Structure 1
């Protein structure tokens, strides 16, 4: 959606820059570049200081404490009948005290941003704070004002004692100690009978994952998160830990802003702006306008009729300018290369092993075989059959297999859900590409993701590129959604244009097609591309290619719980890679089966 405004738009030229800036803060502070974080641009538009400080705190929490253990504690406490809102508010106050001063001492520049964030929270939420419950609202105000006044804010004795309990979090040496402080504070000011009625902290922490899994968490979640309810709820609670702001206020401010600016569907003029935005953040296209129009006409039909394709070699290869997205791509490329060096021995072993398997198979395919025939070189010893047998194979012929009659496409899911395993996925694609190059099999490598109604196909190497082009795979970047069916259909179209008889498509994905598109004017408003709708479409495209003679292998690069979806899409031809050290053996087995096939 798009909002007309002088400078601020819902999705504009700065959206990814804002998201990446906050993520970069988180990664820089934590030192952990695998951390994933959903950035709320609405929060940034509400208050730049609050949004940036929130990113800093998430990084600091990951650096100083175990955020996953802390989130799991909150879920277990709610399971034992604690009030979710009150528990979250208590935890947020304690976490701020545990990490606020630490990060300011380590990075003095953060202190001014922290001060601005606190001022904005007080200014925007003062009237709503008592809604937390009188004591929690007053406690939050007291803590924020005390921080802004350098510890000189006076409050009455009862509130001061409670505030001092929160301040104990400043000395929490580890996550368990911080949890004890949060638990004690909740039991003191919210539910003094909690231990008697529901159990001690030790009993709370003893709750098993099996017990949590059996509980119905749907009342705590939005409808789209029901499928993986427990996991979604744990993630939801973990992400809330660092918030100091009231999300209800953010949502109300966003709602008012949207009403004020009359959000509508995209106009044709705005679509032009969307194309410029995609070009700016994903790199220039390598197709001419006529070629691009032709591909969209051929591929974007039926349930993809309101979609568009965008073909690029990436922002690092062909940028419009060096913006935040460019710097973000540089950072992720370096992260991929770092992982390659870290796993260098394993990667090299996999490449060598897969190369050896392919080479042996291709050598066998190239060997000359003699067969009986009704033409060729006569065999004297079989002449006695003339007139005595209906079999007329009196000759021998030499048959030489064509080992070079193969072509391979590698298609990589580059949606945001792959971010946590981005480096490993890049290594998998690199192993395949290097091995195929070593045996001189033509192959193309592309990734795909979807932003707005554009499915972006990022080409790393073309079929007949030199082996050095394989290094472009380290430019692999993840973001946005994934319209798997359209991407597979498009990759398959290119593969079918090749003259080689045997065509193979390898898809590296997490088995979760998902894309909610922005509709063009006068569009027929198709269903959101998710769930069974998306799975069935992707599976249909796979079957269609197989019917046309393309061998399709799904390499599963996701969570084990999504395996059933992968099976629905790829049937029996999929590989689940639990450990990259086994990658060459598992994928090699499939490729050899295809190379050996005489179909």
Structure 2
């Protein structure tokens, strides 16, 4: 209740800022802006009001309506507001000179906070918006934009919308920029027959309602990667118009950005039929080893994503090399802790043999393969009969910690390998309705590819845990441990379905007749349910939270006491070692 009241109060204050700047009260703005801690952003909410004041015609509203139906709406919205901020400022500062001081203050805060605030859930393309924002605030502070990519420099120059434009001219220039740089045709989208029908039905439904109630969860409290408030549209629960062509485009985007699928189309379809049900109905699970298509895509957004991932991989490796002595010492310390735990977990390795105790489940090998090894014997050297899976949250909330997460994952994986414990490492993120499971190494592969880790998109943790369960099923070990590196903040742009109990038998999750955002309590509840499911199947689940990122309260709801927060990287070996010792002891209990 307290959170609800705080959000409602923050929303009302943001509305007052917009209304005051617009000189018009009572209208419902499509966008509001908030700071890192959820407080209204004074400058950007004022800009939203000035846009309404000077450019409140139907032309600009029509463009935003069209963008709202695009699969790239988050990126396009961000790009448009960078241009709109400039023209609104130029127009209003003539009457309100103090606005220049507010703008300078906003620019300074952007750079002051970019390394001290956590980065929240942004789509992969929004790294472009961040770069453009940084360029804008650099110019406000009298510095060079700092853009290296020629394509980005040209786009940024085009976004210097003049305050001398009227509403029609501004809408035309904005549409031209989107068409030129993103191949977005607003006119074709707005005038599609299907969209006309949708709008007509919506208008009819509105007339039947005596009033319209805005719920606090309809508002996305998003932040940019610097921690400053960003302009963000309210979630309405409406989905973009999509069909087979859009689905094919989404799949091609995922394949080109993250790699070819591990499984064929038929097997992938069976996996989705098995796992993408009830709360995750209509979603997709995509498994990949990161192998890219032979021919690279010419799409500029895909090229940027691939190049960004490659640059991050290089940065991850550089970070490890620069701190090699520290991390190698961490591997030695963690390996020692694991070996100590293994001393109280004696599990001789059972192998197939030509003598010993008859192994009934292997009799088929003698009949069909003439294999005499249908007996069970004990290998003299004791080895663990469990495997460990390491799952890394790769959503955009981890952008600021990518090098640290990659190094931590490598230290943990390599320590387990040195103790002869099979380990598999993979990451997860959600984008365009796909939860992408990127496997870096299987149980017998080198762990070096862990440094290919990079962050982008959202995180549908519950579905990712189902995917983890499927990947773990390939382990030959009898028992399993799953370690999740996370911030315990599930957040996806695709909502939970509107069904009583969300389709779960006996209503394990709270029943809701209306769809809910996959975030906050709903996301935590779903993730906790999947953790319970894994534990019920015999898998030990634990979590690691990094630094100041992450929600301890949510982590406790999801993982109970089986999580550890690493405030200082120097604590990693001790903290992770202690938790692993506990999990290994639980396996032998």
Instruction: State the TM bucket, normalised to the shorter chain.
Output: 0.5 to 0.7
Work out whether 1:303 is the aligned partner of 2:279.
Answer: yes
Aligned with residue 282 of structure 1, among 231, 245, 258: 258
Number of the residue aligned with 2:536: 547
- 1:372-419 deviation digits (Å, cap 9, x = unpaired): xxxxxxxxxxxxxxxxxxxxxxxxxx9989532010111111111111
Aligned with residue 110 of structure 2, among 67, 72, 76: 67
- Aligned ranges 1:228-377 → 2 under 5 Å: 238=228, 264-314=240-290, 320-321=296-297, 323-363=303-343, 365-366=345-346
Matched residues in 1 for 2:323 and 2:442: separation? 26
Matched residues in 2 for 1:40 and 1:412: separation? 25
Instruction: Answer yes or no: is the 8 Å Cα contact 2:393–2:459 preserved in 1.
Output: yes
Per the alignment, do residues 270 and 464 of structure 1 end up closer, same or farther by CA in structure 2, a change over 3 Å counting? same
Q: CA deviation at 1:121?
A: 4.6
Number of the residue aligned with 1:531: 520
Q: CA deviation at 1:346?
A: 2.0
Classify the secondary structure of the residue corresponding to 2:494.
coil
- 1:321-347 deviation digits (Å, cap 9, x = unpaired): 472221111111122122212322221
Classify the secondary structure of the residue corresponding to 1:287.
coil
TM-score by length of 2: 0.57
Instruction: Answer yes or no: is the 8 Å Cα contact 2:387–2:477 preserved in 1.
Output: yes
Aligned with residue 510 of structure 1, among 477, 483, 487: 487
Instruction: Answer yes or no: is the 8 Å Cα contact 1:453–1:519 preserved in 2.
Output: no
Number of the residue aligned with 2:475: 498
Number of the residue aligned with 1:433: 413
The more displaced of 262-271 and 471-480 is 262-271
- 1:32-66 deviation digits (Å, cap 9, x = unpaired): xxxxxxx7423546898999xx9xxxxxx99x956
Matched residues in 2 for 1:492 and 1:425: separation? 22
Number of the residue aligned with 1:420: 400
Q: CA deviation at 1:360?
A: 3.5
Q: CA deviation at 1:298?
A: 1.4
Instruction: Answer yes or no: is the 8 Å Cα contact 1:448–1:455 preserved in 2.
Output: yes
Work out whether 1:568 is the aligned partner of 2:557.
Answer: yes
The structure with the greater share of residues assigned to helix is 1
Gapped regions of structure 2 (runs ≥ 5) = 1-61, 90-103, 115-133, 171-213, 349-377, 504-513
Classify the secondary structure of the residue corresponding to 1:103.
coil
Number of positions where the alignment pairs a residue of Structure 1 with one of Structure 2: 398
Per the alignment, do residues 49 and 114 of structure 1 end up closer, same or farther by CA in structure 2, a change over 3 Å counting? farther
Classify the secondary structure of the residue corresponding to 1:284.
coil
Matched residues in 2 for 1:492 and 1:108: separation? 41
Classify the secondary structure of the residue corresponding to 2:141.
helix
Work out whether 1:586 is the aligned partner of 2:575.
Answer: yes
Matched residues in 2 for 1:296 and 1:319: separation? 27
Matched residues in 2 for 1:365 and 1:105: separation? 56
Per the alignment, do residues 47 and 425 of structure 1 end up closer, same or farther by CA in structure 2, a change over 3 Å counting? closer
- 1:177-227 deviation digits (Å, cap 9, x = unpaired): xxxxxxxxxxxxxxxxxxxxxxxxxxxxxxxxxxxxxxxxxxxx9945989
Per the alignment, do residues 493 and 315 of structure 1 end up closer, same or farther by CA in structure 2, a change over 3 Å counting? closer
Matched residues in 2 for 1:278 and 1:115: separation? 30
Number of the residue aligned with 2:164: 122
- Aligned ranges 1:30-179 → 2 under 5 Å: 40-42=75-77, 44=79, 67=110, 99-100=141-142, 102-103=143-144, 116-118=158-160, 120-124=162-166
Instruction: Answer yes or no: is the 8 Å Cα contact 2:83–2:161 preserved in 1.
Output: no
Per the alignment, do residues 541 and 239 of structure 1 end up closer, same or farther by CA in structure 2, a change over 3 Å counting? closer
- What is the CA RMSD across the aligned residues, in angstroms? 4.8
The more displaced of 105-114 and 427-436 is 105-114
Matched residues in 1 for 2:528 and 2:240: separation? 34
Matched residues in 2 for 1:318 and 1:564: separation? 45
Matched residues in 1 for 2:583 and 2:153: separation? 61
Matched residues in 2 for 1:285 and 1:482: separation? 19
- 1:258-291 deviation digits (Å, cap 9, x = unpaired): xxxx985322332122211211222211211122
Matched residues in 2 for 1:509 and 1:423: separation? 14
Instruction: Answer yes or no: is the 8 Å Cα contact 1:511–1:558 preserved in 2.
Output: no
Matched residues in 1 for 2:538 and 2:162: separation? 62
Instruction: Answer yes or no: is the 8 Å Cα contact 1:283–1:312 preserved in 2.
Output: yes
Q: CA deviation at 1:565?
A: 0.6
Matched residues in 2 for 1:548 and 1:517: separation? 28
Work out whether 1:478 is the aligned partner of 2:455.
Answer: yes
Gapped regions of structure 1 (runs ≥ 5) = 20-38, 55-60, 72-91, 129-220, 241-246, 252-261, 369-397
Instruction: Answer yes or no: is the 8 Å Cα contact 2:426–2:441 preserved in 1.
Output: yes
Instruction: Answer yes or no: is the 8 Å Cα contact 1:509–1:558 preserved in 2.
Output: no
Per the alignment, do residues 566 and 367 of structure 1 end up closer, same or farther by CA in structure 2, a change over 3 Å counting? closer
Matched residues in 2 for 1:320 and 1:227: separation? 35
Matched residues in 1 for 2:155 and 2:474: separation? 56
Instruction: Answer yes or no: is the 8 Å Cα contact 2:394–2:454 preserved in 1.
Output: yes
Classify the secondary structure of the residue corresponding to 1:419.
helix
Per the alignment, do residues 121 and 349 of structure 1 end up closer, same or farther by CA in structure 2, a change over 3 Å counting? farther
Per the alignment, do residues 581 and 233 of structure 1 end up closer, same or farther by CA in structure 2, a change over 3 Å counting? closer
Classify the secondary structure of the residue corresponding to 2:164.
helix
